[in-house]
Chain A
């Protein structure tokens, strides 16, 4: 579903967010990208959503090389992907219903079809009874669920989420993850950026750990050098390398 080949992203300031990253996510997988803030998680998702373009390498999403998606084709490309954001990115001047309906309005779905789909999506996140409310009157957890309903209302095959539980307490986080899990069970591919290791371990999904824009493969070595640093000794590169 997603394949990154030797992808680099260097920002104009010279800062490298991703360095020769190669990874892939299969169809129907639910995968977490983990790492500290600044490790390149958001950048990775931004490349997939075509908010940014890589400075090197290929990003292939559902068989489409994003390099070949022209500026004019970006909207149509984005409509195939559901996106969930840490800060929800809801529109506060309209109701929950209208927020969730927005992707369908953009796609030009007829009003009747749209109403049916919006209600189905709201039902899936358990907010059907709040469709007429303004997002402002909802709790953070509920707002995030509205954001999720909006992401899945046009039934995308791929859903990407950037720190979807970043602002939520553990119970609400688990609830959101369970919703994601249910989508995954019906075939949606999910790529979720999160630093909540405990929660991810609870779900038992594959992890793609990032550090400084690279795959963090040799965890033990890092552990040793980190530990050595903490207790204040110099460690020569040893035979474990």
Chain B
């Protein structure tokens, strides 16, 4: 078509419907950015790998802590009180008391161990069998083992402990909760430490991606100048770099998931074997869907943040000369 013959030659260019155009433009920019990464597969893969490892470290630590918590959590549920009754208490009184305690709403189960049974068991397990035969009377008291219900809180457990200790028949209540509590405190501390570490590693990802994007911007300086010269806004010039950051983050996040997943897979069998040796039904807990989503989302967010910082800093300075 020759310009001289065209009657509508100077109707200004009309943009198409804004929303569709906007969406199409983003789709094509994002694919363009992906294509650019694909054209340098080795460099892109290296960047993605660094991000993946950086994300996988805290994620793996989190999974380990989560598994340890699930094991130790079952210990806490299995935390029983041993109620040693005064030595004069008759077996009838003991069983009546056991029945009474068993009726409490906050108690899940009650087991009465009569002193005779306890002695038999002790003889069998301690290896002092022959020596104990010489005892004229049984030194062991009747024992009531109380298993609190799972709805109990720490306070209600403490309260129950006090109540049981104050019963007239009670000689002594043993509840060995302290080491479990210490263990949980250690786990909490580790978890906090991992959170701090994860924050630092996140900052590292922002820096890594920011630096990669900065180099990319420098390499494409001329292109940016020309595009600005023919009327591109800062947002337009920035967009492909933001998408690069997004792809780096997404790739890193997905690869981190794969790394953690592979680690879990490799541990599943030996852990199962170990649990089998302890007669435990425990099987290793993997990342939940939400956690996986969080890891990938974190990758994407950090990728965007890094590229945004780099683009905002360097894009403004590149003006046509």
Asked if B223 is an interface residue, CB under 8 A from chain A, the answer is: yes
Could you list 7 A-B pairs, sorted by A, with CB under 8 Å? Answer: A75-B228, A75-B232, A103-B230, A109-B14, A110-B20, A123-B2, A182-B3
Asked if B88 is an interface residue, CB under 8 A from chain A, the answer is: no
Asked if B105 is an interface residue, CB under 8 A from chain A, the answer is: no
Question: Which residues of A90-109 have CB atoms within 8 Å of chain B's CB atoms?
Answer: 90-91, 93, 102-109
Interface string of B2-45 (1 = CB under 8 A from A): 11101001111111111011101100000000000000000000
Asked if A113 is an interface residue, CB under 8 A from chain B, the answer is: yes
The distance in angstroms between the C-alpha atoms of A83 and B320, with both chains bound, is 13
Residues of A in contact with B (beta carbons under 8 Å apart):
49, 51, 72, 75-79, 83, 89-91, 93, 102-111, 113, 117, 120, 123-124, 150, 154-155, 157, 182-183, 185-188
Given A51-B321, A123-B1, A123-B2, A109 and B13 contact (CB-CB distance below 8 Å): yes
Q: Are A108 and B223 in contact (CB under 8 A)?
A: no
Q: Are B230 and A78 in contact (CB under 8 A)?
A: yes
9 smallest CB-CB distances across A and B, nearest first, come from: A110-B16, A79-B231, A78-B231, A75-B233, A154-B13, A108-B15, A106-B232, A89-B226, A108-B21
Q: Are A109 and B227 in contact (CB under 8 A)?
A: no
Number of interface residues of B (CB under 8 A): 34
Asked if B229 is an interface residue, CB under 8 A from chain A, the answer is: yes
Q: Are A183 and B21 in contact (CB under 8 A)?
A: no
A contacts with B: majority SS: helix
Q: Which of B10, B319, B320, B321 contacts A187 (CB 8 A)?
A: B10
Q: Which chain B positions have C-beta within 8 A of A107?
A: 13, 15, 231
Q: Are B11 and A155 in contact (CB under 8 A)?
A: yes
Which single residue of chain A is at the shortest CB-CB distance from B234?
A75
Asked if B236 is an interface residue, CB under 8 A from chain A, the answer is: yes
Which single residue of chain B is at the shortest CB-CB distance from A105?
B25
Q: Are A109 and B10 in contact (CB under 8 A)?
A: no
CB distance from B316 to the nearest CB of A (A): 9
Q: Are B3 and A124 in contact (CB under 8 A)?
A: yes
CB distance from B220 to the nearest CB of A (A): 9
CB distance from B165 to the nearest CB of A (A): 75
Q: Which of B10, B14, B21, B232 contacts A157 (CB 8 A)?
A: B10
The distance in angstroms between the C-alpha atoms of A83 and B11, with both chains bound, is 19
Q: Are A102 and B3 in contact (CB under 8 A)?
A: no
| Given pairs A51-B321, A75-B228, A109-B15, 8 additional interface contacts (CB within 8 A) | A77-B231, A89-B229, A93-B223, A108-B22, A110-B17, A110-B20, A113-B16, A155-B10
